[in-house]
Structure 1
Amino acid sequence: MKTVDKYLISIVGPTAIGKTALSIKLANHFNSEIISADSRQFFSEMQIGTAAPTPDELSAAKHHFIHHKSITEDYNVGAFEKDAIKTLNQLFKTQDIVIMVGGSGLYVGAVTKGLDDFPEVDKSIRQELNIKLEKEGIQSLQKQLKELDKVSYESIAIDNPHRVIRALEICIGSGKPYSSFLNKEKNKRPFKTISVGLTAERELIYNRINKRVDIMMQQGLLEEVKSLLPFKNLNALNTVGYKELFNYLDGEWELDFAVSEIKKNTRRFAKRQLTWFKKNEETLWFDYTTPLETIVEKLEQKIIEP
């Protein structure tokens, strides 16, 4: 199929829904390569707990941005945007279609739309917020954000202290809500994006998540987390599946409780993912059991008749 325009097919949806499997099928169908926009899968030390593609899956299609960084490196969404766009520009020289897959809404949006432009704020604000986090806990920061910017409080990953502090420092430093800087006019992209969403009944999604966590534990997640214990304060490891087991290893929780918390927090994360991705009204949503042929047919219609 010959196309004039360049297309990025972005596969989104909640965790454990089957995005990786679909991305490989589509990459093979379109003779293309895959960009990962999953911020947890960037780090080479985090293999099991991030549900990264298996060696077989990685060999089934060419992947970019899987385990290409160390948890000790400072790698953020701004750096990823630059790297991803550079890689896409290279790929589009020889390919008309590239596949992107990932459940990190902020990182997906950075590639498809560009990042929001935030004002510079005094670094001391972040230092003070970090001190408050240590002394009073994240609930105190969450309460402060709810008072200053209810829109952000209801839309960001509220259990992630890094995200809460980022929103608060903009609110405090600029005197304006963090959310007021979002969704402004962004950089135009030299490609068109078609967003494909996978979904299922919520109960089914939650059951898949619970099973995935059990499988991760069987695969050795606890041993992986043990090996990372000296680095537990790094931002990359402040993530579901790792922080709960750190609590177990620190003697704060029983193992069964830690595993149940991983399942609960992953279910919450999936709920936020769905809320985030449902905002894009142009996304083509499919049940996770939809045959590949049906999805390809819809995509080719969009490409031929955009």
Structure 2
Amino acid sequence: MNNSLIVIAGPTAIGKTNVSIQLAKKLKCEILSADSRQFYKEMNIGTAVPSVDELNEITHHFIQHKSIHDTYTVGDFEKDAIQKLNTLFTQQKYAILVGGSGLYLDAVTNGLDHFPEVNHDLREKLISTYKNSGIESLQKQLKRVDPTYYNKVDLQNSQRILRALEVCLSSGKPYSSFLSAPRKKRPFKVLKIGITADRPIIYDRIEKRVDIMIAQGLVDEAKKLYDYRALNALNTVGYKELFNYFDGVWDLEFAISEIKKNTRRFAKRQLTWFRKDDQIMWFDYEDDCIQILNYIHKKTL
């Protein structure tokens, strides 16, 4: 295996985009985004998509290549990303995979677990329960049918809970029982780099980024998407809080404070996910890129 996939992971707002571009220039390679929020062309400011200048510096893939109206799963991304890597690795030794979506990074590096087919009617019934009774009813049901997964999942992530329940109820087996399949072996090396900082610094960077997003026009961007707020792609931090503002539930100041709070919580969950991976080599966000480059060369040459 002469090719190497360099994974750049870390919490939101830590500077992964800048690090990946610097490394891509040095390694003469291209970048694949594994940030599931950046897949959608209608969402720009609220997802911190790389700027036009940044995109022009290095070729990026999987940035705004889908519409919020498209169905695009992590399984679809795995297939598309592996296909793209197979092509890139005929032309270059390295490729960079960057993002804060741990599940999407894992899909490319390790492959996804395989689950049984689920009943469509059951899925619709669970969604109806969620809409009518709230997430608490789903949480209680998951705790009853799969306490193992209940104790590890983000209980505020409705999509994860719905997915687990539909698998449990369709198969008659705990969702967690499908999470232990052997990982796929990829025809390339994987080297994982984590970018981090002390938590107060991360939180401060998040607050400043949200302020910048508001100044750049996030409110107007969300307003244009308001009619599509029921779509899964828009059930995300930065948009759903502003939808509450448009609905008159919150004032703008409170909505912005909720964006900051929920983004901090998201960063905390990201770090919890990544800290479980002992293959990640961590660097401080202020470390010189040359340090990371030297580490890459040491491990891949």
> Which residue of 93, 112, 132 maps to 2:109?
112
> Is the CA contact (8 Å cut-off) linking 1:155 and 1:276 kept in structure 2?
no
Q: Show structure 2 runs of 5+ residues with no match.
A: none
Q: Which residue of 2 aligns with 1:278?
A: 275
List structure 1 runs of 4+ shifted beyond 6 angstroms: none
Query: Counterpart of 1:41 in 2: which secondary structure?
Result: helix
Q: Which residue of 1 aligns with 2:186?
A: 189
Q: TM-score, normalised by structure 1?
A: 0.95
Instruction: After TM superposition, give the deviation of residue 126 of structure 1 in Å.
Output: 1.2
> Which residue of 151, 156, 178 maps to 2:153?
156
C-alpha distance in structure 2 between counterparts of 1:163 and 1:266, whole Å: 18
C-alpha distance in structure 1 between counterparts of 2:242 and 2:217, whole Å: 12
> Which residue of 186, 198, 203 maps to 2:200?
203
Identical residues among aligned pairs (%): 58
Q: How many pairs align?
A: 301
2:153 maps to a residue whose letter is I
2:194 maps to a residue whose letter is G
Query: Counterpart of 1:100 in 2: which secondary structure?
Result: strand
Query: Counterpart of 2:123 in 1: which secondary structure?
Result: helix
Equivalent runs, 1:1-306 vs 2, <5 Å: 5-304=2-301
Query: Counterpart of 2:38 in 1: which secondary structure?
Result: coil
1:139 maps to a residue whose letter is E
C-alpha distance in structure 2 between counterparts of 1:269 and 1:65, whole Å: 22
2:259 maps to a residue whose letter is I
Q: TM-score, normalised by structure 2?
A: 0.97
C-alpha distance in structure 1 between counterparts of 2:234 and 2:148, whole Å: 27
Q: Show structure 1 runs of 5+ residues with no match.
A: none
Q: Any idea what the Cα deviations from partners look like across 1:63-118, whole Å, max 9, x if unmatched?
A: 00001111111111111111111110000001010011011111111110111011
Instruction: After TM superposition, give the deviation of residue 154 of structure 1 in Å.
Output: 4.1
2:258 maps to a residue whose letter is E
Query: Counterpart of 2:163 in 1: which secondary structure?
Result: helix
Query: Counterpart of 1:10 in 2: which secondary structure?
Result: strand
Instruction: After TM superposition, give the deviation of residue 148 of structure 1 in Å.
Output: 2.9
Q: Any idea what the Cα deviations from partners look like across 1:255-288, whole Å, max 9, x if unmatched?
A: 1111111111111111111111111101110111
Query: Counterpart of 1:130 in 2: which secondary structure?
Result: helix
